A and B are shown apart, each in its own frame.
Chain A
Amino acid sequence: MPALPRAFRPTLLLLLALPAALIALPARAVEVQRVVSPGGITAWLVQDDSNPMLSLELAFRGGAAADPADKAGLSRFVAYLLDEGAGKLDSEAFQQALADKSIQLSFDAGRDTFRASMATLTRNRDEAFRLLRLALTEPHFDPEPVGRLRAQLKARLESKSEDPDSIAGRQLWAALFPDHPYGRSPDGTAETLDRIQAPDLKRYVEQRLSRDRLVIGVSGDIDAKALASLLDETFGALPASGETPAVPDVEPSTKGGLIVVKRDQPQSTVAFAEPGIARDDPDYYAAYAVNYVLGGGGFSSRLTKQVRVKRGLAYSVYSYLAPLDHAALIVGGLGTQNARVAESLDIVRQEWRRMGESGPTAEELDDAKTYLTGSFPLRLSSTGDIASTLVGMQLEHLGIDYIDRHDALIDAVTLEQAKTVAKRLFDAGELTTVVVGQPAKVEATRPSPLPQG
Chain B
Amino acid sequence: MRLTPRPLFVAFALFAVALAGLPPRPADAKVFSPTVYTLDNGLEVVVVTNRRAPVVTQMVWYKVGSADEPRGKSGIAHFLEHLMFKGTKEHGPGQFSAIVARNGGSENAFTTYDYTAFFQTVAKDRLPLVMELEADRMANLQLTDKVVLPERDVILEERRMRIDNDPGSQLAEAARADLWVHHPYGRPIIGWENEMATLTTRDALDFYGRWYAPNNAVLVVSGDVDPAEVRKLAEKYYGPLPRKDVPPRDRVQEPRHWAGSRVELTSAEAGRPSISVTYRAPSYHTAEPRERAYALEVLSEILDGSVGRLYRALVVEQPLAAGAGAGYDPDGLDGSSFAFWATPRPTVAVDKVEAALRAQIATLLDKGVSEDEVAKAKQRLIDQTVYANDSAGSAAHIIGKALTTGSSVADVEAWPDRIQAVTKAEVEAAARAVLDPVNSVTSVLRTKPTS
Contact = CB atoms under 8 A, between A and B. Distances in A.
A99 B154 contact: no
A51 B385 CA distance: 10
A119 B346 contact: no
A381 B55 CA distance: 8
A299 B96 CA distance: 10
B1 A381 contact: no
Contacts of B157: 267, 312-315, 335-337
B386 A312 contact: no
Contacts of A52: 386
B271 to A, nearest CB: 3
Interface stretch (B145-153, B329-337, B399-407): B145-153
A164 B186 CA distance: 27
Contacts of B5: 152, 155-156, 159
Nearest to B121: A378
A265 B269 contact: yes
A100 interface: yes
B108 A2 contact: yes
B82 interface: yes
Interface string B351-394: 00000000000000000000000001001100110110111110
A314 B154 contact: yes
B68 to A, nearest CB: 19
B54 A377 contact: yes
Nearest to A334: B157
A267 B346 contact: no
Contacts of B98: 299-300, 367
Contact of A149 (B3, B161, B379): B3
Interface in A243-261: none
B315 interface: yes
B323 A377 contact: no
A30 B53 CA distance: 8
Interface in A286-322: 297-300, 305, 308-316
B268 A158 contact: no
Nearest to B384: A102
Contacts of A316: 161
Contact of A53 (B85, B165, B390): B390
Interface stretch (B16-24, B201-209, B284-292, B304-312): B304-312
B150 A375 contact: no
Contacts of B12: none
B379 A102 contact: yes
A102 B383 contact: yes
Interface stretch (A57-65, A105-113, A271-279, A345-353): A105-113
B269 A264 contact: yes
Contact of B164 (A105, A107, A108, A266): A266
Contact of B316 (A6, A30, A92, A107): A92
A438 B155 CA distance: 20
Contacts of B109: 1-2
B1 A95 contact: no
Q: Which of B84, B97, B101, B316 has the most CB of A within 10 A?
A: B101
B108 A371 contact: no
A384 interface: yes
A26 interface: yes
Given A153-B3, A267-B161, A308 B154 contact: yes
A98 to B, nearest CB: 8
Contacts of A108: 1
B387 A29 contact: no
A311 to B, nearest CB: 6
State the main secondary structure of chain A at its contact with B.
mixed
Contacts of B305: 99
Interface bin, chain B = 35 or more
Nearest to A263: B269
Nearest to A1: B85
Interface residues of A, number: 90
B3 A25 contact: no
Contacts of B306: 95, 98-99
A101 to B, nearest CB: 8
Interface in A196-221: none
Contacts of A371: 101-102, 104
Interface string B65-109: 000000000000000011011000000001001100111111111
B37 interface: no
B225 interface: no
A370 B312 contact: no
Contacts of A102: 379-380, 383-384, 387
Contact of A265 (B97, B164, B316): B164
A337 B384 CA distance: 42
B3 A370 contact: no
Contacts of B122: 374, 378
Contacts of A383: 390
A308 B94 CA distance: 12
B383 A121 contact: yes
Contact of B2 (A6, A95, A164): A95
Nearest to A265: B165
Contacts of A164: 165
Contacts of A95: 2, 306-307
A357 interface: no
A337 B197 CA distance: 14
Nearest to B104: A374
Given A121-B383, A264-B269, A107 B1 contact: yes
Interface in A150-167: 151-156, 158-164
Interface string B38-67: 000000000000111111000000000000
A162 B161 contact: no
A163 B110 CA distance: 24
A315 B390 contact: no
B269 A51 contact: no
A81 to B, nearest CB: 10
A436 to B, nearest CB: 9
B104 A3 contact: no
Contacts of A305: 94
Q: Which of A149, A269, A315, A316 has the most CB of B within 10 A?
A: A315
Interface in A76-119: 80, 83-84, 91-92, 95-96, 98-100, 102, 104-108, 119
A152 B1 CA distance: 13
A138 interface: no
A453 B271 CA distance: 11
The 6 closest A-B pairs by CB, nearest first: A374-B104, A312-B153, A106-B1, A162-B271, A312-B150, A102-B383
Given A2-B108, A263-B269, A264-B268, 16 more contacts: A2-B110, A29-B52, A50-B51, A53-B386, A102-B380, A152-B315, A152-B322, A155-B323, A159-B5, A159-B272, A266-B164, A266-B165, A269-B165, A298-B101, A310-B150, A383-B390
Interface of A: 1-4, 6, 25-26, 28-30, 48, 50-53, 55, 80, 83-84, 91-92, 95-96, 98-100, 102, 104-108, 119, 121, 144, 148-149, 151-156, 158-164, 263-267, 269, 297-300, 305, 308-316, 335-337, 367, 370-378, 380-385, 453
15 contacts: A3-B108, A53-B386, A55-B390, A80-B1, A80-B3, A102-B379, A102-B384, A108-B1, A151-B322, A151-B346, A156-B3, A156-B5, A264-B268, A335-B165, A378-B122
